[in-house]
C-alpha cells in the first residue's frame, strides 16, 4: 500500500482528496495535518465523510511513515513549508498550490497536467498540480498548439462555481451575495494565465498571441464551463480528427458531438470538449469539475502515474447528471 500524508486538511480540495484516497484500493492515509484542527475528527470539518473514516486531524508530521505528501495549502504556503522543514529527499510530493507551477531553475517540480506531461510525471518525484481554470482552458486548445494552429488571439470566457474561492466565506462568495448573482473578476489578468502560456509555448514555440481571458463568478457551487474562440480556417472534420487523435490514449478527456452541459462532469475527473465552426471562427466548449479534474482528482491521477498504477484507479466516479 502507498502511504499518504496531507498538509492543510480543512479546505474543499483537501476534503475531496480525502474522499478519493479513503476509497482508493492502493492508498492509505497516514495523517492529515491541520494545526487549527488538531485533535478534531475529520468528519467534524468534512461532514460528508461520516461513516467513511475515523481519521483525526494531527499537528504532527511523521514524514518517515509516508511515501507521498500532498499539499492542499494556500498559495505561497507550500514554498514556505518546504523551505522551513527537512523533508526526506525520496518522499514524493504533489502540490496543489500555485507555488511551483512555473518552471524555473530553482526547483524540480514537473507541471502535472497528464494530457501534456504524462511521461515526465511518471518519472517525477515532485509534481505541481495545475490550476482549475488553467486545466479547463488548456485541455480545450492543446491539440491546436501541437499542430501549430494557435496563430490568432484566443478569446476565453469561463464561469466557475463558488468552491473555487475556497472554504472561508468572503464578500463575493457567501450565499446572500453569490445567489442569483454573477460578476467578473481579474479580467485579462488572472494568475493562471502564466501557466497556460507556459504549456502552449512548450508545444508551439512560436505562440505569442494574446489570451483574452474573462473569469466569471457563477451562482453555483462547483464546476467550470469555458468557451474559447479563435480564428481558424481548417474545416471542422479535420479539427475533430486532430482532437480525437490527441486525446485517444488519455483516460479522462473526451470529444462530444452533442453540445454538453456542466452536470455531465460534476463529481468526475472528466473533461468534455465540444467543437463548432462558425465561418472562420472555431468555438471550443470545455468543462470540468473544479474540485476534481481541476484539483484533487487530477492530484490522484498524478499519484497513479508517479507510482506506476493504472491511471484511472480510484477515479471511476459517477457524474451528478440524472
How many angstroms from the chain centroid is the CA of residue 306?
16
Evaluated on CA atoms 1, 43, 300, 263, the torsion sign reads positive
Residues 235, 240: Cα–Cα separation, whole Å: 9
**Which residue among the candidates 72, 122, 132, 271 is catalytic per the annotation?**
132
Is 271 known to be catalytic? no
| Alpha helices in 88-204, H assignment, sequence order | 114-122, 132-146, 175-178, 193-203
Give the CA distances from residue 34 to residues 54, 73, 96, 122, 287, in Å, rounded to whole numbers and listed in that order.
16, 10, 16, 29, 32
C-alpha cell of residue 284: 471550443
Helices 297-306 and 12-22: angle between axes, nearest 10 degrees: 50
Largest CA distance in the chain: 61
Which SS3 state, helix, strand or coil, does residue 295 take? helix
What cell numbers appear for 119 in the block? 511521461
Interhelix angle 132-146/236-246, rounded to 10 degrees, is: 110
HSE-up (13 A, CA, CB side) for residue 294: 29
The enclosing H or E element of 154 equals: strand 154-160
Alpha-carbon distance of 265 to 300, in angstroms, equals 17
Q: Which residues are catalytic?
A: 132
Amino acid at each position: 500500500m502507498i502511504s499518504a500524508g496531507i498538509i492543510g486538511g480543512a479546505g474543499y480540495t483537501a476534503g475531496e482528496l480525502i474522499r478519493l484516497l479513503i476509497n482508493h484500493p492502493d492508498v492509505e492515509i497516514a495523517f492529515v495535518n491541520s494545526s487549527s484542527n488538531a485533535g478534531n475528527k475529520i468528519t467534524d470539518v468534512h461532514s460528508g465523510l461520516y461513516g467513511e473514516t475515523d481519521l483525526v486531524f494531527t499537528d504532527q508530521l511523521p514524514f518517515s511513515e509516508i511515501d507521498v505528501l500532498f499539499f492542499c495549502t494556500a498559495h505561497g504556503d507550500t514554498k514556505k513549508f518546504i523551505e522551513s522543514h527537512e523533508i526526506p529527499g525520496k518522499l514524493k510530493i504533489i502540490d496543489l498550490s500555485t507555488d511551483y507551477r512555473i518552471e524555473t531553475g530553482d526547483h524540480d517540480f514537473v507541471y502535472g497536467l497528464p494530457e501534456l506531461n504524462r511521461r515526465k510525471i511518471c518519472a517525477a518525484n515532485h509534481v505541481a498540480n495545475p490550476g482549475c481554470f488553467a486545466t479547463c482552458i488548456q485541455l480545450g486548445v492543446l491539440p491546436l498548439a501541437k499542430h501549430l494552429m494557435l496563430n490568432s488571439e484566443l478569446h476565453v470566457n469561463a464561469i466557475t462555481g463558488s468552491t473555487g474561492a475556497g472554504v472561508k466565506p468572503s464578500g463575493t462568495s457567501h450565499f446572500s451575495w453569490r445567489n442569483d448573482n454573477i460578476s467578473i473578476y481579474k479580467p485579462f489578468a488572472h494568475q493562471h494565465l502564466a501557466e497556460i502560456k507556459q504549456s502552449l509555448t512548450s508545444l508551439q514555440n512560436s505562440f505569442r498571441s494574446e489570451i483574452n481571458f474573462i473569469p466569471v463568478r457563477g451562482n453555483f457551487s462547483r464546476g467550470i464551463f469555458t468557451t474559447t474562440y479563435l480564428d481558424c480556417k481548417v474545416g471542422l472534420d479535420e479539427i475533430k480528427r486532430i482532437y480525437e487523435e490527441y486525446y485517444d490514449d488519455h483516460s479522462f478527456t473526451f470529444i462530444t458531438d452533442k453540445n454538453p452541459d456542466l452536470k455531465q462532469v460534476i463529481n468526475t475527473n472528466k473533461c468534455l470538449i465540444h467543437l463548432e465552426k462558425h465561418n472562420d471562427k472555431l468555438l471550443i466548449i470545455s468543462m470540468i469539475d473544479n474540485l476534481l479534474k481541476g484539483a484533487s482528482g487530477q492530484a490522484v491521477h498524478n499519484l497513479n502515474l508517479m507510482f506506476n498504477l493504472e491511471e484511472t484507479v480510484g477515479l471511476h466516479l459517477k457524474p451528478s447528471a440524472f
